Amino acid sequence: MTQLSDTLELKRPVIRSGGRITVLNISWVNLFLLGILILAAALRLVNAAAFGSGNTYYTAAVQNMLLSPSNFFYAVADAGGVTVDKPPVALWIQAIFGAVLGVNGFTVTLPSILAGVLSVGLLYHLVKKSFGSTAGLIAALVLAVMPVSVAIDRTNNLDSILIFTMLLAAWAFIRATETGKWRHLLLGAVLVGVGFNVKMLQAYLALPAFLGLYFLGAAVGWRRKIGQLVVTLALTLAVSFSWAVIVDLTPADQRPYVGGSQTNSVIELALGYNGLQRLLGIQFGSASSLDGGRDDGNAAPPVNMGGPGGAGETGNPGVLRLFTQPLSNELSWLLPFGLFSIGLLALSKRVRLPLSHQHQAVILWGGWLMTGIVYFSVSRFFHAYYLATLAPPLAALVGIGAVRLWHGWQGHRLGAFALTLVAIVGTLGFQLYTVGTYGVSYDWQLVLISAALAGGMILALISLRWRESHWRTAALVALIAAILFTPMYWGASTALSGTVNSVLPTAYAGTLTGFGNGRMMGMTQPPMAAPASAAENSADSTSLISYLKQNQGTEKYLLAVGSSMMGGSLSLQAGIPVLYLGGFSGSDPIYTAERIAQLIADGELRYILTGGMGVMGGSGQSEINTWVTGHCTAVKGISLNGIMDGGFAAIGAGGVPPSQMTPPSGMTPPSGTTGAPPLAGMIGRLMGGTNSLYDCRGS
């Protein structure tokens, strides 16, 4: 079967070597692949100054992990009291980069950038193996420019490393299917287990597709396959829960508290907060897990809390969820073509066992994509950037589907032409509709798309009359260019936007700007500036840090705060040992008033900052605050308004601190809110009251 790559010729002087078209001894395929990799790197590196400190929850954790081997192993979030609410593998990688290059926003983001670029190259290799270089190049290009992939790879969140690990696992299962050998199958199991130790159950989204690929595609006896897959599952579980079991078997008084859990257990964290709760959803402020204020990019958003359509960051569950706001700008630009490709591959050839490469692609890439679509359509607890997990299978299906259509033109030309138009026009129609919903004016862009579409259709009609393959090739290139233009434009716009939301990264959202890129609190217009200036608040924050550093003694923990929302920023800015009394969001039952009193009596802790963003309450926090106000001395003469800006920066406010924000139309500040501009005061009251610094020495 003639490959599309055999029909393309470079319009420049070339050197022919061994029948292979080359330029300076580099094949055209490798030249195109190199260009795609450079493009992928550029989109992830451009505007690097906007990285800031990254996701301060993770960046501060990396800083603290480098303080001791114990902190490193447990992935400690603060100065030693609580772990990050995720497993440690990705953070270990970030910590290694931080140890070598220093801890800052760029160095902790660099592993994500590298993982993103390597994923592009690896996807090319996986698709090329069965469907040729052209399919691989198209798949690589789609992944390189996918807006949600660009957004997540520009942060130090954990998903980029997870996606690269999942693609490595896909390679192992493909090799196992080809060879039937144990070593590749077991390697795949180990890699899925490693993925679990990056982002827990999110790594299992692709596992059904991996197992189905081997079960239906390997030329191995059924009994042997069943036995192999049982062992594979057992090894996957063993590797997945290895770190969790070690931590849970360690006595609680000899290790940090497991962040995000209510029973100090990693297994509970994996199966509960990071497991079933993500599928079934939880209510904001529930007793078991108060996650509405989490800022690590892995929290449950309040149900129906504003945003486009009144459905918060991810919209309401339903079959059209990924095709409508607020998620349609992340991944869905090529989703119609990807779904069409699944049907085309499944129906255009008779099914025989073991499956052909074409039907193996349906199981692997189609199974991975459809499992994710079903999950994200029904789940009530995820963030928009989680959709990056589905970018590799979608990109693979676009590349495979495009080349499969081209081959169809060799035989049933009229039927293939009709199918191509259905796929291309349907995808373009969805794209243009979606662009309009985000308030973007497509002028010159529409001209280019129309020209590509018209040119492709004319060339396709010519190809129906003349059989030369170059007409078909030119037609398909033009038509594919038409549907790739908008995701490329959106991916570039995501990379070139003025700020990077390192906590809740999202794709370019057109004119829907504001807090959380217009996804939270119903804001669809940039907030208006309040009287207080950014400089004033910066000075306030600096004065607190200066005061603490001037009064730092021999205490093991200089300062305790309610949660990581302020603690992470303070730890990074000041370089002081900070404890998170309630873990990430203030809801973890880590400390009691009695234990805090003992730390102070032992000279291990001096200052406590009460109130403030992220202190979600609970009896433990209330008891601690009561004890502190009754036994410690309030520090006078230090303005703490700027602390709110630091906490707000930690959860990604679209670059606008609350000191410069006014509430959305129709909202008024609660009575008694003073000392801060309107929105900052409102959030301060809602999230824990007024900030106050207490000196507990001698208490």
pLDDT digits (tens, 9 = 90+) for 672-691: 444 444 444 444 444 444 67
Segment (H or E) for 374? helix 367-378
pLDDT, residue 637, reads 77
Residues 464 and 579 both lie in one domain: no
**Could you tell me if 485 and 605 lie in one domain?**
no
The verdict on 363 and 290 lying in the same domain is yes
CB 123 within 8 A of CB 395: yes
Residue 425 reports pLDDT greater than 60: yes
What's the confidence (pLDDT) of residue 20?
Answer: 53
Q: What is the Cβ-side half-sphere exposure of residue 108, based on CA atoms within 13 angstroms? A: 28
Q: Is residue 52 part of a domain?
A: yes
Give the pLDDT mean for 71-98. Answer: 95
Mean pLDDT on 101-124: 97
Q: Is the pLDDT of residue 71 over 50?
A: yes
pLDDT in tens, 337-372: 999 999 999 988 889 999 999 999 999 999 999 999
Cα separation, 331 vs 215, whole angstroms = 29
Are 304 and 441 in the same domain? yes
Residue 581 is predicted with a pLDDT of 92
Among 438, 468, 491, give the residue marking a domain's end.
491
What's the whole-number mean pLDDT along residues 595-620? 77
In this structure, are 672 and 583 located in the same domain? yes
One domain for residues 421 and 300: yes
Q: Report if residue 527 sits inside a domain.
A: no
What pLDDT score was predicted for residue 585?
A: 82
φ, ψ (nearest 5 deg) of residue 508: -50, 130
Section 554-561 average pLDDT:
91
43 and 105 belong to one structural domain: yes
SS3 507: coil
DSSP secondary structure of 5-32 = GGG---SS--EEETTEEEETTEEHHHHH
Residue 562 belongs to a domain: yes
Name the residue among 650, 643, 674, 647 with its Cα closest to residue 538.
643
Please compute, for residue 289, the number of CA atoms within 13 A of its CA located in the half-sphere on the CB side: 28
Q: So what's the pLDDT on residue 321?
A: 95
Q: What is the pLDDT of residue 566?
A: 80
Residue 523 falls inside a structural domain: no
Q: Above pLDDT 90, what percent of the chain?
A: 56
Of the candidates 608, 655, 657, which has an alpha carbon nearest to the alpha carbon of residue 635? 608
Token pair, residue 502, equals: 């390192």
440, 470, 491 - which closes a domain:
491
Region of residue 52 (left: phi > 0; alpha: psi -120 to 50; beta: else): left
Helix ranges, 327-366 (H): 335-347, 357-361
For residue 615, pLDDT beyond 60:
no
Same domain, 561 and 445: no
Residue 502: pLDDT band by 50, 70, 90 thresholds?
A: confident
**Residue 47 in domain:** yes
- Domain shared by 391 and 477, yes or no: yes
Contact 232, 183 (CB under 8 A): no
Task: Confirm whether 499 is domain-assigned.
Answer: no
pLDDT tens per residue, range 453-465: 999 888 877 876 6
Q: Please indicate, yes or no, if residue 40 is contained in any of the structural domains.
A: yes
Angle at 695 between CA 693 and CA 699, to 5 degrees: 135
Domain that residue 588 falls in = 534-695
Could you read off the pLDDT of 127-142 as tens digits, one per residue?
A: 999 999 999 999 999 9
Mention every residue, 6+ apart, whose C-beta is less than 8 A from residue 618.
290, 582, 586, 587, 589
Q: What number is the average pLDDT over the span 585-595?
A: 89
Q: Is pLDDT above 80 for 441?
A: yes
Whole-structure pTM value: 0.86
Task: Please give the Cα distance from 164 to 123 (Å, whole number).
Answer: 9
pLDDT digits (tens, 9 = 90+) for 241-271: 999 999 999 999 999 999 999 999 999 999 8
Compute the Cα dihedral for 671, 676, 681, 687 and give only its sign.
negative
Give the confidence band of 545 by pLDDT, cuts at 50, 70, 90.
Answer: confident
Q: What is the pLDDT of residues 19-43, one digit of tens each?
A: 455 556 678 899 999 999 999 999 9
pLDDT at 230 over 50: yes
Choice among 310-314, 395-399, 647-651 with the minimum mean pLDDT: 647-651
Residues 374 and 299 in one domain: yes
For residue 659, pLDDT beyond 50: no
Which of 9-23, 306-320, 392-406, 574-588 has the weakest average pLDDT? 9-23
Mean pLDDT over 6-15 rounds to 35
Asked if 462 and 550 sit in the same domain, the reply is: no
Q: In whole angstroms, what is the distance from residue 532 CA to residue 536 CA?
A: 7
How much is the pLDDT for 679?
41
Q: Choose between 296 and 16: higher pLDDT.
A: 296
d(CA 468, CA 460): 11
Exposed / middle / buried, residue 356 (Cβ in 10 Å: 0-12, 13-18, 19+): middle
pLDDT (0 to 100) of residue 474: 85
Structure confidence by residue, pLDDT tens digits, 287-346: 333 333 344 444 443 333 333 333 468 888 999 999 999 999 999 999 999 999 999 999
Whole-number mean pLDDT of the chain?
A: 81
Is 394 a residue whose pLDDT tops 80? yes
In a domain, 350, yes or no: yes
Residues 28 and 81 both lie in one domain: yes
pLDDT score at 290? 36
* Predicted pLDDT at 377: 94
Band (pLDDT 50/70/90 cuts) for residue 273 is confident
Q: Which of 470, 491, 512 is the last residue of a domain?
A: 491
Place of tokens 């996807």: 123
The pLDDT of 583-587, averaged and rounded, is: 85
pLDDT attached to residue 115: 98
Report which DSSP code applies to 510.
T
* Whether the predicted pLDDT of 9 surpasses 80: no
- Structural domains counted in the chain: 2
Residue 354 has a pLDDT of 93
